[in-house]
């Protein structure tokens, strides 16, 4: 087993940096130091915590270009989208500070006979986050800022391929005045990660990753009777209904599929189009996907950068080939280009049906699955015919019908009407079924890892 972590530029395939994995003793020391910092932090006021978190948001903006470049170098997202990600991170800091008094305030309840109760939301300790590479800053901000605001300590195991981003975030947090050791990056392997989960000082675990990773981490934490929040990806369906504005629908669907190089948990992945407009949509959608310009993510003239790692690109291509072998048809793309870097073109598969990876699995890259439905009812049936349930979309001019479908019938955690899925700090984020459980954002994340404590005053 190697004792080094390494980062690789996916646009060139060249090595960026190497990092030495921490010793077991160093990891244990970091955990204890985080706990010590938590013991003081938990008793600080919301105003005090909020002041530092607002400074973290400002520090992110002050170093926006530096952080964005590191993210693009490490995982290949377009530079402009990296800049947007940092801005979202700062907005999350501001929203968390502004909404914390509402979501974390104690509540008094009259119990009758002169008795009353207090409901308090108290921090519990260290929260261990295991985070992916696709949004290297946002994924970290999403769980860490909510938990720091709640009064917890935070540890991070970031994906190996974005180690530099994780370390830069740690530096930014500390530069903004966050107490030393309250947020720390652990450079560890999987065995060490399990040791951290088992550590008595660690009180909760949050993971964003694959269902396979979620099952492993969930079992490890459950064995220690520790709460988890799991966000495990999806194969989100976007329904294009008969009255949809075709031009708008195509634009939404193309951006929903290729944004972040198609490597987004809530990306549009399955496009379920009703029969009445299927042929028109297919022709326009394929034409638009063929026009997607792939190239250097540092350039402001391209639409699609490389995939984050070679193995991910190869796995995606294998899913495409298996789907074709089982009856799918490639309408555009579907080949590995002969160039440096881990590029894969915008691809559309038609004649997609159950039993194909393009129907059943998550295609984590710029490959769209085009599926014909008889009508809106049939489209919803197909959308829900999935083990996943993170996000989804409905494109129609009848907003009331879309709201009814979204609220009553769509078996998923989030539904985007006439737009493609991007996180909003004001709204809860999370899924159902194999997409995991628990919620972040919208104030819900601040209450995931707290002790909802009852204090009863009896006399």
Beta-strand relationship, 107-112 and 4-8:
unpaired
Structure tokens at 356: 């194909």
Neighbouring residues of 93: CB distance < 8 A, sequence distance ≥ 6? 53, 54, 56, 57, 60, 141, 145
Q: Which two tokens stand for residue 286?
A: 């394929």
- Residue 201 near residue 126 (C-beta atoms within 8 A): yes
Pick the catalytic residue: 253, 265, 351, 448? 265
83 class by beta-carbon count within 10 Å (0-12 exposed, 13-18 middle, 19+ buried)? middle
pLDDT of residue 430: 97
For residues 349 and 331, the answer to whether their CB atoms sit within 8 Å is yes
Q: 231, 351, 362, 440: which is the annotated catalytic residue?
A: 231
Query: Which single residue is written with the structure tokens 């789907």?
Result: 323
Angle subtended by helix axes 163-175 and 64-75, to nearest 10: 160
Hey, do 4-233+434-457 and 237-424 end up sharing a CATH topology, with the first three levels equal? no
Give me the CATH topology for the region 4-233+434-457.
Aldehyde Dehydrogenase; Chain A, domain 1 (3.40.605)
Is 265 in the active site? Answer: yes
Q: Say what the alpha-carbon torsion angle 205, 41, 52, 187 is, to the nearest 10 degrees.
A: -40
DSSP state of 453: E
The maximal CA–CA distance of the chain, rounded, in angstroms, is 79
Domain spans, the chain: 4-233+434-457, 237-424
Cα–Cα distance list, 265 to 97, 234, 435 (Å):
26, 6, 9
User: How would you write the pLDDT of the chain (459 residues) with one tens digit per residue?
Assistant: 579 999 999 999 999 999 999 999 999 999 999 999 999 999 999 999 999 999 999 999 999 999 999 999 999 999 999 999 999 999 999 999 999 999 999 999 999 999 999 999 999 999 999 999 999 999 999 999 999 999 999 999 999 999 999 999 999 999 999 999 999 999 999 999 999 999 999 999 999 999 999 999 999 999 999 999 999 999 999 999 999 999 999 999 999 999 999 999 999 999 999 999 999 999 999 999 999 999 999 999 999 999 999 999 999 999 999 999 999 999 999 999 999 999 999 999 999 999 999 999 999 999 999 999 999 999 999 999 999 999 999 999 999 999 999 999 999 999 999 999 888 999 999 999 999 999 999 999 999 999 999 999 998
Q: What angle do CA 310, 315, 321 make, to 5 degrees?
A: 125
CB neighbours of 98 closer than 8 A, spacing ≥ 6?
Answer: none
CATH entry 3.40.309.10 includes domain 237-424: yes
Residue 421's pLDDT is 82
pLDDT of residue 174: 97
pLDDT of residue 152: 98
Q: To which H or E segment does residue 371 belong?
A: strand 367-373
Q: Read off φ and ψ for residue 293, nearest 5 degrees.
A: -95, 120
Distance (Å) of CA 267 to CA 147, 427, 440? 26, 17, 18
């Amino acid at each position: 087993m190697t004792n080094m972590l390494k980062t690789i530029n996916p646009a060139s395939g060249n090595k960026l940096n190497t990092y030495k994995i921490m010793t077991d003793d160093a990891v244990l020391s970091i955990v204890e130091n985080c706990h010590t910092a938590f013991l003081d932090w938990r008793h600080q006021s919301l105003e005090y915590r909020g002041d530092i978190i607002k400074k973290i948001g400002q520090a992110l903006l002050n170093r926006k270009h530096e952080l964005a470049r590191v993210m693009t170098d490490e995982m290949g997202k377009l530079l402009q989208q990296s800049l947007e990600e940092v801005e979202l991170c700062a907005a999350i800091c501001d929203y968390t500070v502004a909404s914390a008094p509402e979501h974390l305030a104690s509540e008094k309840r009259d119990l009758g006979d002169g008795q009353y109760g207090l409901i308090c939301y108290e921090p519990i300790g260290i929260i261990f986050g295991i985070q992916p590479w696709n949004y290297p800053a946002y994924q970290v901000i999403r769980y860490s800022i909510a938990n720091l605001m709640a009064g917890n300590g935070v540890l991070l195991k970031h994906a190996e391929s974005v180690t530099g981003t994780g370390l830069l975030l740690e530096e930014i947090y500390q530069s903004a005045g966050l107490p030393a050791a309250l947020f720390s990056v652990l450079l560890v392997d999987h065995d060490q990660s399990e040791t951290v989960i088992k550590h008595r000082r660690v009180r909760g675990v949050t993971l964003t990753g694959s269902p396979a990773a979620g099952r492993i981490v969930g079992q490890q934490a459950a064995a220690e009777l520790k709460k988890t929040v799991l966000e495990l990806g999806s194969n989100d369906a976007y329904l294009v209904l008969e009255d949809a504005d075709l031009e708008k629908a195509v634009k939404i669907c193309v951006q929903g599929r290729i944004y972040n190089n198609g490597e987004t948990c809530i990306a549009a992945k399955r496009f379920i189009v009703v029969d009445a407009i299927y042929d028109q949509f297919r022709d326009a959608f394929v034409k638009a996907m063929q026009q997607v310009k792939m190239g250097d993510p540092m350039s402001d003239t391209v639409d699609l950068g490389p995939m984050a790692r070679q193995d991910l690109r190869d796995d995606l291509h294998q899913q495409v080939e298996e789907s074709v072998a089982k009856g799918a048809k490639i309408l555009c793309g579907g080949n590995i280009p002969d160039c440096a870097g881990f590029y894969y073109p915008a691809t559309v598969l038609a004649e997609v049906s159950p039993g194909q990876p393009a129907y059943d699995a998550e295609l984590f890259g710029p490959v769209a699955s085009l599926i014909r439905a008889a009508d809106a009812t049939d489209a919803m049936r197909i959308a829900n015919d999935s083990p996943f349930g993170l996000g989804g979309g409905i494109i129609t001019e009848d907003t009331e019908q879309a709201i009814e479908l979204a609220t009553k019938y769509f078996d998923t955690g989030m539904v985007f009407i006439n737009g493609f899925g991007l996180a909003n700090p004001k709204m809860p984020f999370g899924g159902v079924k194999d997409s995991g459980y628990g919620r972040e954002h919208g104030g819900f994340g601040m209450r995931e890892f707290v002790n909802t404590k009852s204090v009863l005053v009896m006399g």
